């Protein structure tokens, strides 16, 4: 049994309109903590934003309708990291209204405004002296923003399942073809992710959980809805091997409400088991 934190905000759009109701039966468990925006979950401080993004990005996001959503989305990831470090929880699931992985140091777009994993990593370094981190990205698309932020950072392992192949040691891309079975995807994950994590020994794993690669969604690679809880299980096992189970699942791409409704409770169940 793990202590799992759920970080939630209400500014999260149509695809998540079944939440938090769909978490009934989960929220009342003793090992689940629910942190809600404006109460326990607070927004990301500007000083921290400036450690990852340029003033131009911050000013640009301020002019969009998503500024507040982005502050609380990334606030969830930052606080998940902090609460794990303080040993209040073991792992976390973060609901987001805007994504992370297309937001770089000096640009944003593609539904991503500020980079929550990037901010959480900078925050853990500054506040707790944490040193080594891993980011796994299973959104259908390349995590260009995360790569832009950490591409030259030897203490961050970035493993990205996308549409190209690349490996320079700490920056790894694995091409996933357009018609992939769950079995192929999960065995590739076991082969390409788990050994790298064991070698690299991060102190925490951030998982960009995008479900747009699911069959019928906009980045379909042919995966079924059951692939995502399968990914959660592999990431969790890897985290147990190397970093006392410390991991944060961050909601990334995906548009369909029915897929979110199916996958998210299952992933939270997996994390909290």
Residues 46-75 that bind Zn ion (CB under 5 A): none
Q: Are 74 and 115 in contact (CB under 8 A)?
A: yes
Least CB distance to Zn ion at residue 253 (A): 3
Residue 261 DSSP symbol: H
Per-residue b/e over 234-261, b at no fewer than 16 CB within 10 Å? bbbebbeebbebbbbbbbbbbbbeebbb
DSSP letters for 2-54: --EEEEE-S---GGGTTTTGGGTTTTTSTTEEEEEBTTTB-PPPHHHHHHHS-
Q: 241 to 260, contacts with Zn ion by CB under 5 A?
A: 253
Q: How far apart are CA 213 and CA 125, in angstroms?
A: 32
CA distance 38 to 36: 6
Q: Does residue 99 touch Zn ion according to CB under 5 A?
A: no
Whichever of 145 and 202 has its CB closer to Zn ion, that residue is 145
Radius of gyration of the chain (CA): 17
- Closer Cβ to Zn ion, 141 or 221, answer by number: 141
Residue closer to Zn ion by CB (options 4, 96) is: 96
Size of the site for Zn ion (CB under 5 A): 11
Which single residue is written with the structure tokens 């692939």?
Answer: 227
Q: Nearer to Zn ion by C-beta: 96 or 272?
A: 96
Backbone angles phi, psi at 266, to 5 degrees: -70, -40
Residue 245 or 253 having the CB closest to Zn ion: 253
Which of the residues 212 through 241 are near Zn ion (CB under 5 A)? 212, 219
Would you call the peptide bond into 141 cis, given omega within 30 degrees of 0 as the criterion? no
Of 118 and 210, the one with the shorter C-beta distance to Zn ion is 210
Binding mask 171-190 for Zn ion (x = CB under 5 A): --x-----------------
CB of residue 180 to Zn ion, shortest distance in Å: 15
Which segment (34-42, 45-53, 157-165, 189-197) binds Zn ion by CB under 5 A?
157-165
**Cβ at position 216, least distance to Zn ion in Å:** 14
State which of residues 90, 122, 139, 217 lies at the interface with Zn ion (CB under 5 A).
139
Q: Which residue from 141, 158, 246, 256 is in contact with Zn ion, where contact means CB under 5 A? A: 141
Report the residue number, 9 or 135, with the smaller CB distance to Zn ion.
135
State how far the alpha carbon of 61 is from the alpha carbons of 16, 66, 175, 269, in Å. 22, 7, 31, 34
Stretch that binds Zn ion, among 38-46, 141-149, 223-231, 242-250 (CB under 5 A): 141-149
Please identify which residue in 3, 142, 246, 256 interacts with Zn ion, judged by CB under 5 A.
Answer: 142
The answer to whether 174 touches 159, Cβ cutoff 8 Å, is yes
Site residues (vs Zn ion, CB under 5 A): 139-142, 160, 162, 173, 210, 212, 219, 253
């Amino acid at each position: 049994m793990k202590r799992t934190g759920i970080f939630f905000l209400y500014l999260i759009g149509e695809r998540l309109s079944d939440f938090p109701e769909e978490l009934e039966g989960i929220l009342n468990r003793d090992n689940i903590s629910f942190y809600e925006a404006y109460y326990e979950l607070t927004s990301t401080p500007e000083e921290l934003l400036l450690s990852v993004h340029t003033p131009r990005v911050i000013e640009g996001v301020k002019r969009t309708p998503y500024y507040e959503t982005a502050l609380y989305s990334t606030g969830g990831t930052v606080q998940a990291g902090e609460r794990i470090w303080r040993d209040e929880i073991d792992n976390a699931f973060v609901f987001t209204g805007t994504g992370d992985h297309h937001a770089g140091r000096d640009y944003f777009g593609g539904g991503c405004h500020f980079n929550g994993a990037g901010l959480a990593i900078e925050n853990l370094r500054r506040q707790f002296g944490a040193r080594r981190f891993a980011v796994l990205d299973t959104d259908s698309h390349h995590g260009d923003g995360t790569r832009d932020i950490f591409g030259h950072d030897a203490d961050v392992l970035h493993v990205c399942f996308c549409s190209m192949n690349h490996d320079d040691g700490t920056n790894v891309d694995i091409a996933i073809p357009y018609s992939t079975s769950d079995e192929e995807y999960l065995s590739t994950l076991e082969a390409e992710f788990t050994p790298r994590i064991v070698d690299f020994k991060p102190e925490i794993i951030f998982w960009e959980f995008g479900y747009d690669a699911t069959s019928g969604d906009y980045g379909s690679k042919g995966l079924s809805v059951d692939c995502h809880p399968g990914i959660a299980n592999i990431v969790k096992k890897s985290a147990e091997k190397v970093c006392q189970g410390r991991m944060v699942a961050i909601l990334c791409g995906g548009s369909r409400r029915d897929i979110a409704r199916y996958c998210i409770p299952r992933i939270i169940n997996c994390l909290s088991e």
